[in-house]
């Protein structure tokens, strides 16, 4: 029997459909605030900045590119006793015991948004920005940010930067273009936050194609000679969908950072396998194998933290969203060295111990390192 090789787009479609076939994707109606019993759930606050154009007919945001950012503030009810990172979206009759539910929503001016980012009594000078990946709608990104915030138990409101993903399996190329288009808007957001005297650290956390957008934005800041902004950044890339050689080029332009860049990788990430095939079987950064001596050497040379999180279980069936499980391991993001400059022991290749040695998370990097070189 003759075996034929599936075209990359067909393979990508198959892989993504496997992960989404059991779940109905939420429409923008889930953004409508609903009154729920205060005792039925915990509440988290989320700030959002998006360069998606508003969908005035449905009250949400679509995939059309906008020139300017729209700012919003949300309160989200999070179901108690969550056993994993899967998101249960609200139905026509929301159940706060089982589902994530928006309870408040407000559009903000840029000034009001910046004030809200630093206003909480527990604010410690650190703000976190989550940049979602390929095939995400605005509402899906909002609820994912809410899940991470709830599990991390970090004081204050995390910021979601939602770029205009087509939120479609077949939209991979369109999403890459949209990510590139969004560099200046993310650049603007980061610089505005950095300008605040109350902000001394900005955690820039990018997942998948969002990691590509984050790296392009940091590179753009470097080319603008904005080292004052870059020095406040802690960059974390989870399952980054970036060509390895493109990443090397980005690193050459960015240079050494005050806080070492952190990569969260999984060598069996099937979504990135599909991405690699689309790109002509070129390797992706998010699938680096830290057991490879070449990778360990490169991590030390480039002053990176490469953390293998393969031991974690994801909820998408692909091993691509494992990062979402990390939030429960810490209350806030910090570096290995508690904010100081890196030392030889802070960089290299590490292994996440799922049994309890927390190495990295969207809101904390702490604990015992396993398998340090």
The pLDDT of residue 354 is 60
Instruction: Tell me the H-state helices in 106-254.
Output: 110-117, 138-152, 172-181, 183-194, 209-223, 227-230, 244-254
Q: Would you say 243 and 167 are in contact if contact means Cβ atoms under 8 Å apart?
A: no
Do residues 131 and 205 lie in contact, with contact meaning Cβ atoms separated by under 8 Å?
A: yes
Q: Give the pLDDT confidence score for residue 146 in this predicted structure.
A: 95
- Are 361 and 329 in contact, with CB atoms under 8 Å apart? yes
Whether residue 251 contacts residue 220, with contact meaning beta carbons closer than 8 Å, is answered with no
Question: What global pTM score does this model have?
Answer: 0.87
The one-character DSSP state at 357 is B
**What are the counts of helices (DSSP H) followed by strands (DSSP E) for the chain?**
10, 10
d(CA 84, CA 289): 26
DSSP, collapsed to helix, strand or coil, labels residue 144 as helix
User: Class assignment of domain 8-351?
Assistant: alpha beta
Mean pLDDT, consecutive 10-residue stretches, the chain (373 aa), reads 45 46 79 85 93 93 96 95 88 92 97 92 85 96 94 84 95 96 98 95 95 98 97 94 94 92 86 78 82 83 86 72 73 38 62 56 33 33
Tell me what pLDDT residue 40 has. Answer: 66
Q: CA-to-CA distance for 305 and 150, rounded, in angstroms?
A: 26
Token pair 């505005």: residue: 192
pLDDT at 331: 38
Q: In what order do the strands lie in the sheet with 201-207?
A: 101-108, 60-78, 42-55, 159-162, 126-131, 201-207, 233-238, 261-265, 304-308, 348-351
Q: Are strands 42-55 and 60-78 parallel, antiparallel or unpaired?
A: antiparallel
Whether 163 and 131 have beta carbons less than 8 Å apart is answered as yes
Query: What angle, 0 to 180 degrees and rounded to 10, lies between the N-to-C axes of helices 209-223 and 172-181?
Result: 30
């Amino acid at each position: 029997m003759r075996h034929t090789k599936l075209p990359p787009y067909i393979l990508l479609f198959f892989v993504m459909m496997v992960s989404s076939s059991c779940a109905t994707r939420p429409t923008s109606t889930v953004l409508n605030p609903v009154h729920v019993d205060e005792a039925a759930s915990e509440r988290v606050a989320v700030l959002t900045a998006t360069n998606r154009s508003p969908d005035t007919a449905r009250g949400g945001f679509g995939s059309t590119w906008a020139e300017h950012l729209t700012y919003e503030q949300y309160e989200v009810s999070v179901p108690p006793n969550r056993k994993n990172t899967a998101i249960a979206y609200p139905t026509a009759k929301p159940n706060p015991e089982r589902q994530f539910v928006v309870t408040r929503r407000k559009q903000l001016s840029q000034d009001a948004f910046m004030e809200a980012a630093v206003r909480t009594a527990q604010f410690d000078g650190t703000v976190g920005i989550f940049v979602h990946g390929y095939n995400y709608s605005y509402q899906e990104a909002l609820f994912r940010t809410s899940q991470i915030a709830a599990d991390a138990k970090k004081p204050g409101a995390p910021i979601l930067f939602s770029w205009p993903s087509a939120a479609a399996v077949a939209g991979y190329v369109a999403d890459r273009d949209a990510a590139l288009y969004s560099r200046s808007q993310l650049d603007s957001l980061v610089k505005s936050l950095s300008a605040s005297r109350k902000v001394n650290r900005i955690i820039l956390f990018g997942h998948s194609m969002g990691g590509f957008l984050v790296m392009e934005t940091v590179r753009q800041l470097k080319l603008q000679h904005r080292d004052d902004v870059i020095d406040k950044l802690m960059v974390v890339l989870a399952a980054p969908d970036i060509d390895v050689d493109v990443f090397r080029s980005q690193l050459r332009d960015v240079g050494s950072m005050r806080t070492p860049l952190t990569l969260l990788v999984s060598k069996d990430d099937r979504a990135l396998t599909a991405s690699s095939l689309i790109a002509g079987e070129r390797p992706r950064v998010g699938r680096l194998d830290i057991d490879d001596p070449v990778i360990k050497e490169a991590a030390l040379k480039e002053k990176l933290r490469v953390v293998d999180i393969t031991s974690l279980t994801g909820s998408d069936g692909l091993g691509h969203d494992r990062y979402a499980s990390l939030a429960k391991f810490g209350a806030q993001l910090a570096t290995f060295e508690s904010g100081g400059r890196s030392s030889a022991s802070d960089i290299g290749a590490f292994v996440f111990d799922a049994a309890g040695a927390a190495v990295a998370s969207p809101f904390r990097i702490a604990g015992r390192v396993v398998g340090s070189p």
